[in-house]
Chains A and B, each alone.
Chain A
């Protein structure tokens, strides 16, 4: 038997679904009808949404994307290690370590303040320009370095906020048991802080995955550069659309997962 309340809510739900479906249909119809009426539509369709070119270039773009994944994969551990080191340096309290603290602050200010693409140019062209022997002049190495410099600065700040969010009482409890500052950080504060900032760092990873494409400007034939090569070869922009599709296939699930982690974290704390 349905209660009065349940019957009312079912009615309300039906009404809401009907309205949502109706308005979505109207918008879709308008898009399908209106966009092709634009004067340049024929040209845009031919140069951006050419199905034949899409199918022809897709496999090569996909294999070029493996380079993106490789650069991403070896950047992540370096970013994690350097980010943690910088976060700890910024939190160092001993007077002797003051230079470390200053260094950490300058590092973060510097590399968060420069656009990634600019740093990729400066490091990627500048350092091999010193005339280093092979393989030390590789744009793969210096491009990666540029990404690691920028992203470790961001990750350091995220970690530092995590460390500062651990309640003073946890530190007190550890100190009163006789644990040293170092052990308190390592066994009590850091494990909790890192767990707390996992969602924020997931967002960092998604952004990094996209920014790997910036390395195309200094040489490596990853997906964006491969798409550019096809564009020049075929005089058609469809390869860029195909590259965008490949990126979305990775970043959409990853962002959704980060959101899921973030929500779960929020719910756990309330």
Chain B
């Protein structure tokens, strides 16, 4: 059994007086794709943000390749390169071209002029024609793909995706999901918070249904979607798969 890429145990997180994660245990193995599903406010996004230290965890452990990054005072800067994240709202830097958005972090953090590598990434995701454009000049789907390229340019071993298709027009969702498919084929370890049930069912190794700050049910997609065990899971799936 290889060491898990990510191992969370007893993760708790509160915002003020409200506890939004009530002790999460989750293991993600190398090359696995795990989808977090659940209603808005169930804690999916917060859980993702705890996995890369963007939100400090109140209690519990987050082990990334065996190292507990939730240790208070842990220097997160070096591990950010190992774990990339893409947000729902793209968060591209509006004053830089698509290429500069991608090239900034490799240049400043890795001290590397990664031009050939970055151009290859744009090529791979069908965006070569848009490298010199500014985010405002790109469609939502194109912006989100640039955001994925920007994260990939740091050569992460793990990628987190926080509802990355939720802000897109329906006809643009497909092109972004194709990007995820291609990452899946390359064997990237991925954790997604998503509302795309069809996509999760087709590609995920494992589905975690989150409800009110806990993982209520966890299992292979076929089991979760066809034969859920918990009442809460059934109710949620009935409401989204009408």
- Interface set of A (CB-CB < 8 Å, partner B): 169-170, 172-180, 183, 187-188, 191-192, 195
Q: Offer 26 A-B interface pairs, CB within 8 angstroms, sorted by A.
A: A169-B89, A169-B91, A170-B91, A170-B93, A172-B54, A172-B87, A173-B87, A173-B92, A173-B93, A175-B54, A176-B80, A176-B85, A177-B105, A177-B151, A178-B77, A178-B80, A178-B109, A178-B154, A179-B104, A179-B105, A179-B108, A179-B109, A187-B93, A188-B93, A188-B104, A192-B93
Contact of A177 among B78, B89, B95, B109 (CB under 8 A): B109
B150 at the interface (CB under 8 A from A): yes
B92: chain A residues at CB < 8 Å are 173
For residues 133 through 161 of chain B, which have their beta carbon under 8 Å from a beta carbon of chain A?
Answer: 150-151, 154
A195: chain B residues at CB < 8 Å are 95
Contact between chains at A169 and B87 (CB < 8 Å): yes
Contact of B154 among A170, A172, A175, A177 (CB under 8 A): A177
Minimum CB–CB distance from B190 to chain A (whole Å) comes to 16
Contact of A183 among B81, B89, B108, B151 (CB under 8 A): B108
Contact between chains at A177 and B77 (CB < 8 Å): no
Q: Take A177-B80, A178-B154 as given contacts and tell me if A187 and B104 are in contact as well, using a CB distance cutoff of 8 Å.
A: yes
B174 at the interface (CB under 8 A from A): no
Most central of A170, A174, A183, A187 by chain B CB within 10 Å:
A187
B154: chain A residues at CB < 8 Å are 177-178
B94: chain A residues at CB < 8 Å are 192
For residues 63 through 103 of chain B, which have their beta carbon under 8 Å from a beta carbon of chain A?
Answer: 77-78, 80-81, 84-85, 87, 89, 91-95
Looking at chain A's contact residues, the main secondary structure is helix
Contact between chains at B95 and A176 (CB < 8 Å): no
Alpha-carbon separation in the docked complex, A169 to B87 (Å): 9
Contact between chains at A172 and B109 (CB < 8 Å): no
B contact residues, range: 20 to 34
Name which residue of chain A comes closest to B78, CB basis. Answer: A178
Alpha-carbon separation in the docked complex, A183 to B105 (Å): 9
List 7 additional A-B contacts (Cβ < 8 Å) besides A177-B104, A178-B80, A180-B108: A174-B93, A177-B105, A178-B105, A179-B109, A187-B93, A192-B95, A195-B95
Name which residue of chain A comes closest to B89, CB basis. Answer: A169
B85: chain A residues at CB < 8 Å are 176
B105: chain A residues at CB < 8 Å are 177-179
Minimum CB–CB distance from A176 to chain B (whole Å) comes to 5
B109: chain A residues at CB < 8 Å are 177-180, 183
Contact between chains at B91 and A172 (CB < 8 Å): yes
Minimum CB–CB distance from A233 to chain B (whole Å) comes to 55
A192: chain B residues at CB < 8 Å are 93-95
Contact between chains at B108 and A187 (CB < 8 Å): yes
Q: Take A178-B105, A178-B109, A187-B108 as given contacts and tell me if A173 and B81 are in contact as well, using a CB distance cutoff of 8 Å.
A: no
Minimum CB–CB distance from A77 to chain B (whole Å) comes to 22
Name which residue of chain A comes closest to B147, CB basis. Answer: A173
B52 at the interface (CB under 8 A from A): yes
Minimum CB–CB distance from A181 to chain B (whole Å) comes to 9
B77: chain A residues at CB < 8 Å are 178, 180
Minimum CB–CB distance from B151 to chain A (whole Å) comes to 7
Q: Which 4 A-B pairs have the closest CB atoms?
A: A173-B91, A178-B80, A177-B105, A178-B109
Most central of B52, B105, B150 by chain A CB within 10 Å:
B105
Contact between chains at A191 and B95 (CB < 8 Å): yes
A172: chain B residues at CB < 8 Å are 54, 87, 91
Name which residue of chain A comes closest to B102, CB basis. Answer: A177
